Amino acid sequence: MKLTNKIALVLTLIALIFTACQEEFIPEVPVDAEQYVVEGYIEAGDNALPTYVMVTKSLPFFGELTATQLSNLFVRGAKVTVNDQINTVELLPLCWSDLAPEIRGQVATALGLNADSVQVNICIYIDASNSLNPQVGGKYDLTVEVEDEILTATTTIPSHVPLDSFKFIQPPGNDGDTLAELRAFITDPADETNYYRYFTEINGQGIRPGFTSVGDDAFFNGQSFEFPISKAESRVDPVGPDEFGLYYRGDTVRLKWANIDEFHYEFWETLEFNLVNQGPFSSYTRISSNIEGGLGIWGGYSSSEYNMIVPE
């Protein structure tokens, strides 16, 4: 019997065993389970983005999704405020359709998107006038009032731990003529727990987080050490395994390195775990949220940016 036929037979037997041992389960999906979802950030550091918040509605697990339905998920007409323990600032609504074409291009680049391919009328609430002055060590309370519901959350901007230096090396198992691996050096402070997140941008084509973009110092608290920083790859057009996480020689790289607090870290850690552990045999992990009355994340960043060219 050919190997392929043996594999097919084994898979068929496994399927029959699972079918025989288990009864079909059809979960009950409540029609009134819709919740509000919040995603917002406040940042201090190099080239910090203005404070902004997205408010959307959750979707049922089973169902179809079109561009029109996705656009309708964005909540307009909410009142979104941020309190910095001294003043309360109301964020102003802004939608993709409100932007001039040239501004759309700039925003799309910043988000790592193609302006011509955006079919969803994305809406956010933003501190366009920079009335807030995010500071390291600050505490920021978010309030979202929509219809008859009030959602709240609190975040902090932790102290920043910058990277010490960088180097590009020849990747293991690669001749290094066209690709390089980025290594970074850091001195982690002792007697405190630090949480990190990173993003990369290549040749000005939009910044994005790595596939596993967060980490803590549980195994290296108080140490100075070297570690790899993988290039953040597109989830839409993934590269092959031989190129994954590596940088092309001659590329211009922008690296954003940030500290986040524990609640912010737990959100991304659980979300990214789910993203990389898909399939019928993967374990389910509930994504953490710090939004009272809804789902999502209100998170603070203290960040620094580094620009470099991959040596040829």
Could you report the per-residue pLDDT of 37-48, keeping only the tens digit for each?
999 999 999 889
Based on the fold, state whether residues 123 and 141 are members of the same structural domain: yes
pLDDT of residue 251: 96
Mean pLDDT, rounded, for 254-271: 96
Could you report the per-residue pLDDT of 194-246, keeping only the tens digit for each?
999 999 999 988 889 998 999 999 999 999 999 999 999 887 777 778 889 99
Q: What is the CATH number of the domain that holds 257?
A: 2.60.40
* Helix residue ranges, H only, the chain: 3-21, 67-73, 101-110, 262-276
Based on the fold, state whether residues 40 and 151 are members of the same structural domain: yes
Asked if the model's pLDDT at residue 1 lies above 50, the reply is: no
pLDDT of residue 17: 34
Could you report the per-residue pLDDT of 62-76, keeping only the tens digit for each?
666 676 777 788 999
Judge whether 199 and 256 are in contact, CB under 8 Å.
yes
Mean pLDDT, rounded, for 164-174: 90
pLDDT of residue 284: 63
Indicate the SS3 state at residue 149.
strand
Based on the fold, state whether residues 64 and 102 are members of the same structural domain: yes
Based on the fold, state whether residues 147 and 184 are members of the same structural domain: no
- Three-point CA angle 234, 236, 242, nearest 5°: 55
Based on the fold, state whether residues 108 and 133 are members of the same structural domain: yes
Domain range for residue 248? Answer: 163-288+301-309
Provide the pLDDT confidence category of residue 98 given band limits of 50, 70 and 90. confident
Contacts of 211 (CB under 8 A, 6+ apart): 230, 232, 233, 235, 272, 275, 276
How many domains is the chain built from?
2
CA distance 207 to 112: 6
Based on the fold, state whether residues 201 and 259 are members of the same structural domain: yes
Mean pLDDT, rounded, for 68-85: 89
pLDDT of residue 25: 47
Based on the fold, state whether residues 115 and 210 are members of the same structural domain: no
Judge whether 215 and 273 are in contact, CB under 8 Å.
no
CA atoms within 13 A on the CB side of 202: 16
Asked if the model's pLDDT at residue 106 lies above 80, the reply is: no
End position of a domain, from candidates 156, 186, 221? 156
With respect to residue 31, please indicate whether it lies within any of the assigned structural domains: no
pTM: 0.82
